[in-house]
Amino acid sequence: MGRVQAAAPRGAGGCGPTTQDGGAVPDALPLVPAPLRARALGGPPFTVGPATQVLAGPSAQGVAALVATALGEAAGRDVGVREAPDDAAASREPEGGRALVVLAFDDDGLPAGEEAYRLTAGPDGVRLTARTVAGLHAATATLRQLLTTGGGTATVPAVEVADAPRYAWRGLSVDVARHFLPAAELRRVADLAAAYKLNVLHVHLTDDQGWRLALPSRPQLVERSSGGAVGGDPGGCYTAEDWAALVAYAGDRGLAVVPELDVPGHVNAALHALPELNASGAAVPECTGVEVGFSALRTSVPATGAFLAGVFADVAAMTPGRYVHIGGDEAHQLGEPEYTRLVGVAVDAVAATGRTVVGWQEIAAAPLPAGTVVQYWQERSDPGPVLAAARDGARVLMSPASRTYLDMQPVPGYPLGQHWAGYTELRDAYEWDPATLLAGLEPGAVIGVEAAVWTETLRTFDEVCGMLLPRLAAVAEVAWSADTDWDSFRGRIAPHAAAWDRLGLAWYASPQVAWVR
């Protein structure tokens, strides 16, 4: 790639985005993740005016509505959407003269890849083109970062961007089990993920401390095991309606939801709610602590098989998309044969729904169907089984804890978070390469990168957000951009602080960046 070049001199109007009060951003278009190619054209910008309309064909109406809302909010006026009679008609729309923002499916000038897009902007209009709706979502994220408000209107600088992601899976995993995050707040997390071109929202729905999704086959799970949280804090759960709305909201923003029901360990909430899952036949007490590895299912308990088949069938039926996550981590109570048997039952339960299994790295010890996604996280354990699983056809999702676990403290003494995997400053979250992280892994086996935020110490949306930002943007760039450069990144991320402030989002002012607010 290159760096993101600005053709116009620094400070010249129309070069880069300006902050809300009109201060120029130096050097480069502050796009994060860095696009494959971007060029500031140096001419006058596009200005959102009374005649501005978004034009898109039928397949792009959802994205068009989001674009119209973004333009309207930035300009403080209503922006309408006009529907072209068919998708091809939108791409034939001539450029210029009509104050149009056109969303079209058009291969012309696109880099390779399903999610590639092109964005061109100038005084006469803005054009977003892509091969797929996913590509248009990525283009929309870029447009939002280019939009600047000031002097009572909104502008988009004259630019040309041609872009495509490095990895197909760019995710964020959110633990809503240790502390519950209400649906409205999880939607804000989804917005943030989409803003940095992530395309997977992985929700860790169950753990020792709580079961957070109401499932039709076993309503007792949430009735008995969703009221609490770590430290005796209040819990909560998503109803089927909440979940459907959340999945739809995320989907509308280009995010696939991957639901995780964590088995065969991390199951105290299930053992509390369903006495029949215990060898004794009696329910175990609730758990509000943070120890891991003490709870487990057992194949010798007759109800176990039906439980696994039932809960995975439920969650698959409630969640469109290709993947279901079975957890599989830290089942320290189980010897390898029993662990392998239980993972096998869970894998079969998911396979029976037609979905592809995702699981934490430990599942690599079990026989897995080709195409299974193994999520690498524990850098201290032997990577041998992960490498072997990849040789047998598994894909590897990179979540090395020391880089991507955003509940790790950035510095010693930070008021929130943990440090069992070390301290993860912004630069640590940024400066690593998913393709070479695991020696001996064929780079083509890497499906992508996922950040994770675990909530043992995080009780509120603000606390979660304060751990995500700015490091989520760093991990997102590692996942998206083919070529990364710390000095470039630290310059481009600096003005994002002004947007986070405007949105009321908590963030950590890492001293590694000269923030522009």
* CA–CA gap between residue 464 and residue 189 (Å, rounded): 9
| Amino acid (1-letter code) at residue 106 | D
Q: How far is the CB of 41 from ligand TNX (least distance, A)?
A: 45
* CA–CA gap between residue 214 and residue 216 (Å, rounded): 7
Could you tell me which residues come within 8 angstroms of residue 169 by beta carbon, excluding any fewer than 6 positions away? 199, 200, 373, 397, 447, 448, 449, 450, 479
- Interface with ligand TNX includes 489 (CB under 6 A)? no
> Are 416 and 409 in contact, with CB atoms under 8 Å apart?
yes
- Interface with ligand TNX includes 243 (CB under 6 A)? no
Q: What is the full DSSP assignment across 54-99?
A: EEE-GGGHHHHHHHHHHHHHHHTS--EEEE-SSHHHHHHPPPSSS-
**Interacting residue with ligand TNX among 115, 163, 407, 477 (CB under 6 A):** 407
Q: How far is the CB of 411 from ligand TNX (least distance, A)?
A: 17
- Interface with ligand TNX includes 252 (CB under 6 A)? no
DSSP 18: B
**Which one, 14 or 417, has the nearer CB to ligand TNX?**
417
**Interacting residue with ligand TNX among 59, 132, 288, 418 (CB under 6 A):** 418
- Interface with ligand TNX includes 330 (CB under 6 A)? yes
* CA–CA gap between residue 228 and residue 202 (Å, rounded): 22
Q: How far is the CB of 32 from ligand TNX (least distance, A)?
A: 25
**Interacting residue with ligand TNX among 196, 360, 489, 507 (CB under 6 A):** 360
**Which one, 25 or 451, has the nearer CB to ligand TNX?**
451
**Which one, 183 or 292, has the nearer CB to ligand TNX?**
292
Active site residues: 330
**Which one, 208 or 242, has the nearer CB to ligand TNX?**
208
Strand bridging mode 323-327 / 356-360: parallel
Q: How far is the CB of 292 from ligand TNX (least distance, A)?
A: 5
- Interface with ligand TNX includes 376 (CB under 6 A)? no
Length of the chain: 517
**Which one, 459 or 490, has the nearer CB to ligand TNX?**
459
**Interacting residue with ligand TNX among 243, 307, 323, 405 (CB under 6 A):** 405
Could you tell me which residues come within 8 angstroms of residue 351 by beta carbon, excluding any fewer than 6 positions away? 357, 369
- Interface with ligand TNX includes 425 (CB under 6 A)? no
* CA–CA gap between residue 395 and residue 108 (Å, rounded): 31
One character per residue 444-463, x = contact with ligand TNX (rule: CB under 6 A) = ----------x-x-------
In angstroms, how far is the first alpha carbon of the chain from the final one? 28
Q: How far is the CB of 321 from ligand TNX (least distance, A)?
A: 21
Q: Where do we find the tokens 């003005």?
A: 495
One character per residue 133-152, x = contact with ligand TNX (rule: CB under 6 A) = --------------------
Q: How far is the CB of 181 from ligand TNX (least distance, A)?
A: 14
- Interface with ligand TNX includes 339 (CB under 6 A)? no
**Which one, 66 or 189, has the nearer CB to ligand TNX?**
189
Q: How far is the CB of 174 from ligand TNX (least distance, A)?
A: 11
E strand spans, 164-272: 169-175, 200-204, 206-207, 210-211, 256-263
Extract the tokens encoding 181. Answer: 């995050």
- Interface with ligand TNX includes 480 (CB under 6 A)? no
**Interacting residue with ligand TNX among 314, 329, 425, 450 (CB under 6 A):** 329
Could you tell me which residues come within 8 angstroms of residue 335 by beta carbon, excluding any fewer than 6 positions away? none
Give the closest residue to 66 by CA, choosing from 162, 137, 157, 147: 137
Q: Please report, as residue ranges, which positions from 254 to 293 form the binding site for ligand TNX (by CB under 6 A).
A: 292
Q: Is the peptide bond preceding residue 495 cis, with omega within 30 degrees of 0? A: no
Rounded (to 5) percent helix, strand, coil in the chain:
35, 20, 45
**Which one, 242 or 407, has the nearer CB to ligand TNX?**
407
Q: How far is the CB of 418 from ligand TNX (least distance, A)?
A: 5
Size of the site for ligand TNX (CB under 6 A): 10
Q: Can you give the three-state secondary structure of 293-356, one letter per residue?
A: CCCECCCCCCHHHHHHHHHHHHHHHHCCCCEEEEECCCCCCCCHHHHHHHHHHHHHHHHCCCCE
**Which one, 242 or 456, has the nearer CB to ligand TNX?**
456
Residue ranges binding ligand TNX (CB under 6 A): 292, 329-330, 360, 377, 405, 407, 418, 454, 456
